[in-house]
Structure 1
């Protein structure tokens, strides 16, 4: 997936800026959510976060 997006854009256009923008847009959600969630988790109780994430994983995996 990480390689397919930029390769698709490169096959559609000859613009290197478009390929770079595709990579940037592909990584932007990870960058934004990782920074915000990291700041939030640092302020919460570690045990509560671990228990909540374990319950969330169990519910998601069950479906």
Structure 2
């Protein structure tokens, strides 16, 4: 997984070389975020929860309906 994010960071930097100044800054910021994700988590850091694929079940449970 680390190599995946490193590759995305490099791709964002490559695109930034040919972009206008506003887009370049955003792409370089994106590359920094990908670089951060490519590093293994430190012992004191709290891992992020996995993204939710479906809405919470309470939405479909019919709670609050008469």
TM-score by length of structure 2 reads: 0.33
Q: Which has the larger radius of gyration?
A: 2
TM-score by length of structure 1 reads: 0.33
- Higher relative contact order (Cα pairs below 8 Å, separated by 6+ residues): 2
